Every structure is written in structure tokens, then in C-alpha cells.
A and B are shown apart, each in its own frame.
Chain A
Amino acid sequence: MKNGMVIDLDRCIGCQTCAVVCKMHNSLAPGVWWNRVFTQGTDEHQTAVGENDNLQMEFLPVSCQMCSDAACEKVCPTQASYYDQNGTVLVDYEKCIGCRYCMAACPYGVRQFNWRDPRETKAEAAHETAVALDAGLATNEAELGGVDRWSFARTQVVEAACLLGYPNPQFEGAAHHLVYTQNRPRGVVEKCTFCAQYTQNGELPACVRACPAKARSFGDLSDPTSEVSRMLASCSTVRLREDYGTEPKVYYLPPSNRKA
């Protein structure tokens, strides 16, 4: 079995739903994106490129390309980056020592590093939340005779905001690699796992399930009857930077340029 993905760029409308559902389900801290959608040729998403009537707006979703010959895996000194039995490139968070060789090696810039404990970042983003509790609350408690229920409610909200995302850890293979945990430890590298917490249980990655444009397909590239195999057989596809020889397992159907 060899898991891969096909993304139809004609269908992609650049809505970033894949990026957001990835972020929410994988409990990514603020600033971290495993999956991003670019507008080719500009830094401003969903703006035009070109001049006058000769304009275009083409989107490119990019997450881990799940290379078959992955530079990240080669350079990892601890074998924290590895292939699972389906060819998916994963990171064992318990083995990663944070040397970031993999980040330097990855030609796609999809790996991200936890400089801090993500829980800190999340707690800060949940904010200001904290501040909303402020002095007003304390006086109010006094007025209410020390009843603690209001503050109880607010702290619950803060806590819930910090604990969004798929909650349970995911261990992979006989070696019990820790490949998903809601809050990655400080000092490890993280990236797309094809949603290990879902795919290992027979479900689709969140971005595939959620794409409202139905631009993404996921499945077994070694099974000729799978949807992805049939798409590869019937359509012309491209992969990012094929010249690097990384053999990605994420394929793109290029846009068709219908314009007259």
C-alpha cells in the first residue's frame, strides 16, 4: 500500500478550507500551518497577476509532498523522520531532537519547528481572553458574595480554546512511534501526516474530507482500481519540483486555462 493524494487545481478555488481544517484538526499553534494555499505569482492571496485583460489567479495548495525519496528522511540523524508501511513520511515526536536538518533539506518548506511549547502560544492567543477576566470580575465576585461561577465559566472557555483539535495521541507501527499528539513537545519538527490520527483508522485526511470544491482525492497509489490511480492513469499530472528527484506522492492536475 502506498498512500498518495491528487489535487485538481482546476477545481481549487483558493478558499483555504483545507488549510483551516488541517489547522483545527491537528491542533496547530498560532503561526503554524501544515497546509497552505498560495496564489501563484503574488504574496497577496486571491489577487490577480498580470495586466489589463491578461489576468490570472491560480492557486496552489502545498503541504508535505510525501516524497518517496524524501530528503528529510535521509538527513534525519535519529530516524525520527521515517516512512510508515504505507509510504507516508511521519515524524516520531519522541525521537526528534530538534536539529532541524530536515527543515534545511526539505525543498518544499513545509516543515515547522516548535520553538516554544505550543501550549504557551495557544494560551496567549486564547488571549487576552485572560485579560477579559480582569479586575471587573473580582469586584463582581465580591458583590456576589464570593460566588465563583462566573470566573469558572471564563476559565473553562480559555481552557477549551487551548485544547481544540483531535485530542487523543496516535501511535504508529509495532515500534509505537508517537506520530500525533495534540500538543507537540517544544523542540520538535512537525508537518502534515496525512492525518495519521484518521488515516490509520481507515478515515480520510481532514483536508480531503473537508474540501468543499472536491479538489482532493486520497488513496492507495499501488492499487490500480483506487480513485487516485485511476486519475493518474487518465489525466496528465505534475508534481512539484520533479527535477529534485524526490518522487512526491502528492500529484496536481494542472489548471486547464479555459479562457478564450
Chain B
Amino acid sequence: MNEPGRRIEVASDQDVVRVRQQVRTLAVAVKLSLVDQTKIVTAASELARNTLVYGGGGWVEVAPADNGRRKGIRIVFSDHGPGIADLDLAFTDGYTTGGGLGLGLSGARRLVDEFDIVTAVGEGTTITVTKWCR
């Protein structure tokens, strides 16, 4: 029972900024607390950058979520990049293949309530995250 979201193509730095702004606007609209707004926007920034840098670009969909009990925000990040061969390694704090800090994936997972990842080598990666209002 989730409404359709808004899809944002992610192909440049500027698009990552657009994702942040879109997530911020919706996080305010569904009335997440200030700290939770900050967490979901930060997580979205990390994951959108991954879509761009590691996935070679893709799209992000931002939508309100409602499980009947609580409202929240759900974001999908999808790319057709190389995929992730070793998920355990990818979720290790400090591990990176791209010269970053290695905190994007592991850190983003800590900042959201639900985190789902589907990845296949050579096909791409789709990550879905949800943050619920308390």
C-alpha cells in the first residue's frame, strides 16, 4: 500500500544533491524527527554516491511508506554496475574499492530501520531502505 515514488536519474554529482533534497523534502512531509531526517538524508547521500561512483550511475526512487501502523519513507537505489561479489566484505567498516572511507554501505545500514540489498556480479545492485516515524 505504498504510493509510487519519484524517480531521479543519477548520473552526476549534481544528481546526488538532488536526491538529498528530494529525500529531505519527503522526510519533513512525513514528519520524521529532526534526527531521523538527518539520518535518512545522510544515508541517502551515501547510497546515491555509491550508485554513481561504483554502479556507474542509475536511478533513485523516493516514496512515502505506510505499513498500516507507521508512516515513513522508502528509498530505492538501483544500478546496472558490476555488482558486489562479497557482501560481507562490502559491509565491513573501512573496506573500500574506490578510495573512499569504506563507511558508505555499512554506515548507511546503521542509519536506517530496514535495509535490503539485491546484487549480482555483472548485473548490478538494488538497495531498498526504509526509515519509520517513531
A complexed with B:
no
